[in-house]
A and B are shown apart, each in its own frame.
Chain A
């Protein structure tokens, strides 16, 4: 790539992550990619396309088909000084690795009294909107955000995806990296010159004064859509992209709520014991006197992710978000 005029490029998120992975693979020969079908095929979403050909089969591993095995061996490789980046093929297939992630990956640093860092990234394409069969549209972030020792992040734009994957790989802690798969294809500008924010910073992506909307991943585009519609009706909504689900960067959220007095937390996952519940509770504890309405959660229902033909009734969209905004403004 030749210098200044090409520092920004329009890319779909899948290609932005690919570029980020390529950069990390180039920068450090300790970085390895592991996963099912990620080599020759380039992954079922083609996120790792071309990387095996470029870096070889000892850097980009077409692993045997066993999620616990992939994460467990990634842990061993990290002990050896490698920085493995694991791809879980789909959200619903992360559970066979749950034990290795929560009881081992998350805890080895603590168990080892800080003498054994665990620089492992677990990429999980997650979420709905793609009309797929069972186990291919879930949002399991809360399980991992609940587990101490893990960091959990989720980009919403190609630019963040490009930078955040590299920052996650640079982190000496294990990072669960949730990729909103419905956002793999839309293009967005990627600025190759500098990251927009640190890995664990939340970010105001639209300013407003009447209420604050918070979400992550694919939900951010829904929030922006809702804010645009609301603006047409004279309602000014502030939108915050969480980016990091553990730890959560509360400062921008709290100062926004101090300004707007109203908070609507939106997510694709079921609402019960969710990241949104956690944010609602924390904001109620810390910004009680600023609130002019209860914090409202807009979530998927507390059912298994439904059959694709009815997924649009499950997934929060701009209308569901605006319905919650109306309720908040009615207080």
Chain B
């Protein structure tokens, strides 16, 4: 019985293998290794980010089955939340997973930064990674409007108002908004962005990012570079690291399920363009830091000057962050490399402080 089954499996496998050469792929994956050392923990965060993205795609498609953009947006999300069976759960998973995805990408990015994994030949990995983060925040921003409750409405108004205050940018912002006010036209646009344009950009970019990881392998942090090559340890990607990856995904799935089921995502009151903004209105946590920085500049330099200055400084920071592979070069003394680490610590500190400061003030 047992051997009969095994023979059948072998025949089927050979049939497929003759055509697709899976054997080569498995042998290749078995040869690929992942370094193992005391910072290995951080290698999982890219995979965790990807896991949440897959969850977003699956739950997003499910939401599209009942979601109706335009004038009925709020009503359709209300039905998903209150009437359609388990709709509240699907929506809650999509919202929680969106937030966890952003969090995982942030952790992934900072760990890559401090492990200096952006150095040659991995520059394109760093750049595509930052682009993926930017796309993810646009995913979040566009998705946030879709339920069209009060919070969604005002967050979008304020978010679009920030670049809108830049001289010359208002034409562009009107295009994104589909008019001078956030309304049905905006929802339709954001919906198209959220479910068509962004996935179409994100998926190939993610493919490029993963291809690079595959091509160059995992970088080892500088501390590990000091150990002689013969003493460095590594494990095969397949099946060892892959199995660990799956275990981590399982943990991520359980965390997500518990959060989504025990803390169902809220739906506020329907947005009304005539009612004043509710007190304590604030952006999503991952925009809080930039929001607070802009607010501080506005406070320090009153008028348009503050706003323009704030946006300039913020974008300058982003450009410096992007360009780090170009100025963190090997230098014999290691002084340069250490300065870059301090820069990263400063960015991390400023991000955390302004985020908490922002919440403190609302």
Question: Is the pairing of A and B real?
Answer: no
Q: Mark B residues whose CB is within 8 Å of A.
A: none
